[in-house]
Chain A
Amino acid sequence: MSAPDEDNSSDHTQLASHFFGELLDSVIMDVASECHRIARLGLDRNLDDEEEELRLSAQARAKVADPSNSEANSKYVVDIFGQTHPAVANEIFDCMNCGRSIVAGRFAPHLEKCMGKGRKARVKSTRSSTAAAQNR
């Protein structure tokens, strides 16, 4: 007779496969039953819309990832609300520091100069700020 260990493991393997098959068939049966219920109750109406959305978003993602698009289309890029944005922001308002009319897109560099220079090259430090710097 062959070694008992070998017999055991091959028996076990066969048995294990048999029970795995049973479990899998049972799960399959559950899934089929669930799908049947969904179909008969018409619960899958929304799923078609979801699928369409998934498809469109995958399409959009592919478009964005495509390198050939980025250079040519940057001026015509559209955001999720369907709006296009110019490279430099258009709005004009008044700077609260110096009172001048500034284009929003140029505001940050303006502020750098406006607050950094004033009358002289850099802001005159107040006593509190110099004291704090010295105490470090």
Chain B
Amino acid sequence: MLVRLGFKMRGSIKRPPTPDAEEEEEEDREATLEQIINIKLISSGEKERLKEVLRERLNECGWKDEMKSLCRSYTRKKGRNNVSVDELVHLITPKGRAAVPDSVKAELLQRIRSFLLHSTAL
């Protein structure tokens, strides 16, 4: 007969004393908050709206054209059929992140923060 003693005792046996345990719990709480906010963002449709705003701003300021031109010159060198989406993502991610205008970033952060204020105030 096999008796399974599979249940873990959470608490003092496995975990070291207080300070570390608190840290771990705090981290769990933070991750959950992020997940909760993410769900709220998505279900309210706000995430999609924010993405649209970001896309529009990046288009207006020529950021997208810059990225497309980078991709084109890379593709020309490597050959049309020798590039993968992954390569292009790796190519433009660092430059893309750096090239976002401060005003665009500020606007999006402001909108997100205001969403956070309203959603966590409840």
Contacts and interface: CB of A to CB of B under 8 A. Distances in A.
Interface in A1-46: 8, 11-13, 15-20, 23-36, 39-40, 42, 44
Contacts of A24: 54, 96-97, 100
A27 B97 CA distance: 11
Nearest to B93: A28
Interface residues of A, number: 29
B116 A16 contact: yes
Contacts of A42: 80
Given A27-B58, A31-B92, A44-B72, A36 B113 contact: no
A13 B108 CA distance: 12
Contacts, number: 91
A14 to B, nearest CB: 9
B108 A23 contact: yes
A16 B105 CA distance: 11
Given A32-B85, A42-B80, A27 B37 contact: no
A8, A29, A31, A33: residue with the most chain B Cβ atoms closer than 10 Å: A31
Contact of B54 (A18, A27, A33, A47): A27
Interface of B: 30, 33-34, 37-38, 41, 47, 50-51, 54-55, 58, 64, 67-68, 71-72, 75, 80-81, 83-85, 88-89, 91-93, 96-97, 100, 105, 108-109, 112-113, 116-117, 120
Interface of A (DSSP majority class): helix
Contacts of B97: 24, 28
Contact of B92 (A16, A20, A28, A39): A28
Contacts of B92: 28, 31-32
- 7 smallest A-B Cβ distances: which pairs? A35-B71, A32-B88, A16-B112, A39-B75, A32-B89, A36-B85, A16-B113
A31 B51 CA distance: 13
A35 B68 contact: yes
A39 B71 contact: yes
Contacts of B51: 23, 26-27
Given A24-B97, A24-B100, A19 B37 contact: yes
B75 A19 contact: no
A31 B94 CA distance: 14
Contact of B96 (A16, A28, A33): A28
